A and B are shown apart, each in its own frame.
Chain A
Amino acid sequence: MTLQEYLLLAAALFSVGLYGALSQQSIVMIMMGLELMANAVIVGGAAFWYFASPARPDGQVVVLVAVTLMAVDMAIGFAVTTAIFRRRDIDVTDSAADLKG
């Protein structure tokens, strides 16, 4: 195992998540893409801690922040979905393009 292999895994997860977040229409599927991107941050943070600076726990703290981000992102995402679905019966982003410039 090397740092490069871990970072390559993180890059692959990030790219898959980016593809999902850009291409999906359903709001919930977009959130899944965002979660995959946060997952990449977790893998990258853990790998940097282990290979680059194990004496300082900064990498572990980054993992903790990313895990919290995933929970917050899910909760707020579903709350927004609930609010917009209740008000306008919308569950895809293309129907909620009011702010499009």
Chain B
Amino acid sequence: MWTQIVFGVCAAGSVATGVAVFRVDSMARATFALLASFLFAAGTILLLNLAYLGVLVVLMMIMEMVVMVVFMLMYMMNPAGLTPMTMVHNQKGSLAIAGGVFAALAACIFLVPWPTSGQPRPADPTRALGEALMGSKMLVMMVLGLCLFATMVATVVLATHRGRYDRYGDALRAKRPDDPVRGGLDR
């Protein structure tokens, strides 16, 4: 009974704040609406006895959205929401596509006979997850690690303003770096 009520509140809150992300007037508000949506969704995960994954989502999303707010204020127009803001293209088409996708998914959800499990749930799901990641699902863990490492390298490369090839030429043979201003070590 109580879990049903909590689930209903979390589900409705998650979708409502998710919609609010694209309707509020400022980027900062949109980011915090997105954070609220993630927290409500994490609430529904916690209801499924997934304590570790639920808390992981909560902590990660708080960090991620706080970082995102900084980028929002850096890049976006109207960060304070003092004036109305709409930045959309092809809104009707997008609404039609999103509505169609939702209708199709909802139809599938209620038409497909989903499998049910008679097996008992593990007493400690986190332990089962950890053992799987260090055993049968090791490949997933390794690929994830590789992806994260590639992301670190790629973000640094993309965010570099002037790298050594800009400063020392394509073959890195220039005697002196081609810098807009002089200064620094050995120059």
Contact = CB atoms under 8 A, between A and B. Distances in A.
B51 to A, nearest CB: 12
The binding surface of chain A is classed by DSSP as: helix
The binding surface of chain B is classed by DSSP as: helix
Contacts of A85: 75
B122 interface: yes
Interface residues of B, number: 77
Contact of A54 (B75, B121, B132): B121
B34 A36 contact: yes
Interface residues of A, number: 68
A16 B18 contact: yes
Interface string B129-160: 10111000100100010011001101100110
A52 B53 contact: no
Contact of A13 (B41, B50, B53, B72): B41
Given A57-B137, A91-B75, A22 B90 contact: yes
B109 A82 contact: no
Contacts, number: 225
Given A1-B7, A16-B18, A22-B98, A60 B110 contact: no
Interface of A: 1, 3-9, 11-20, 22-26, 28-29, 32-33, 35-36, 39, 42-43, 46-47, 49-58, 60-61, 63-65, 67-68, 70-72, 74-76, 78-83, 85-86, 91-92, 94
Interface of B: 3-4, 7, 11, 14-15, 18-19, 21-22, 27, 30-31, 34, 37-38, 41, 44-45, 47-50, 53, 56-57, 60, 64, 67-68, 71-72, 75-76, 87-91, 93-95, 97-99, 101-102, 105-106, 109-110, 114-117, 119-122, 125, 128-129, 131-133, 137, 140, 144, 147-148, 151-152, 154-155, 158-159, 161
